[in-house]
């Protein structure tokens, strides 16, 4: 039953986010790292398809992201925005329901470029992380289970790893481009 519930969620994430992002047990940010940039609010449409994401205020330093796919599927995430070094990132955490108690919710990490009416998102790529870990198992704390890798790093370890690879186009490949809906 868990696998059946988990598959649609993972398929949605992989399709929407252009690849299969790596999952993390820890959040990317501490409270002190968070920023609430109101410029993110509103609906953003993907320039390559009819996918869209709507950001709404959800608490002091977080957003509710409603992801709408062109096939009619939708997902909700709590999104926190922050800056590490010179780079902007977002931590995406899926909304869960009481009946999802068997699932372990995990965080997704994306680089964010926000400029006027243009938003680009690139998620930390799972295949790239796997290559890094195959070369050096100690690169970042993680667990391997049934062919999947889940990062088990603390927030501090995760920040160091992400910041070290923030400019790597293989770690954060081909950002999805969104424009503000008018």
* DSSP class per residue in 27-49: -S--GGGEE--GGG-EEEEESSS
32-44 average pLDDT score: 93
Taking the domains of the chain in order of start, what are their residue ranges? 2-180
In the numeric block, the tokens 């996918």 are attached to 51
Q: What is the model's pLDDT at position 147?
A: 82
CA distance 6 to 124: 20
- Report the run of H or E that residue 4 belongs to, with start and end: helix 2-16
> Contact 53/68 with Cβ under 8 angstroms?
yes
Q: What is the model's pLDDT at position 87?
A: 97
- pLDDT of 2 over the 50 cut: no
145-150 average pLDDT score: 88
Give 84's strand partners: 87
Q: Which has more pLDDT, 15 or 154? A: 154
- Report the run of H or E that residue 150 belongs to, with start and end: strand 148-151
């Amino acid at each position: 039953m868990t696998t059946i519930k988990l598959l649609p969620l993972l398929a949605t994430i992989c399709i929407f986010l252009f690849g299969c992002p790596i999952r993390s047990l820890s959040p990317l940010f501490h409270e002190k790292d968070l920023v609430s940039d109101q410029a993110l609010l509103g609906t953003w449409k993907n320039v390559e398809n009819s996918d869209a994401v709507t950001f709404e205020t959800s608490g002091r330093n977080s957003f509710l992201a409603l992801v709408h796919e062109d096939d009619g599927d939708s997902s909700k995430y709590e999104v926190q925005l922050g800056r590490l070094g010179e780079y902007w990132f977002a931590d995406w955490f899926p909304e869960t329901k009481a009946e999802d108690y068997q699932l372990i919710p995990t965080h997704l990490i994306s680089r964010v470029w926000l400029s006027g009416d243009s938003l680009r998102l690139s998620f930390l790529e799972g295949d790239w992380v796997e290559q890094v870990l195959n070369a050096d198992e100690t690169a970042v704390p993680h667990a391997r289970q049934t062919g999947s890798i889940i990062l088990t790093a603390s927030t501090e370890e995760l920040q160091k790893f992400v910041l070290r690879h923030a400019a790597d186009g293989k770690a954060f490949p081909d950002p999805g481009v969104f424009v503000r809906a008018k």
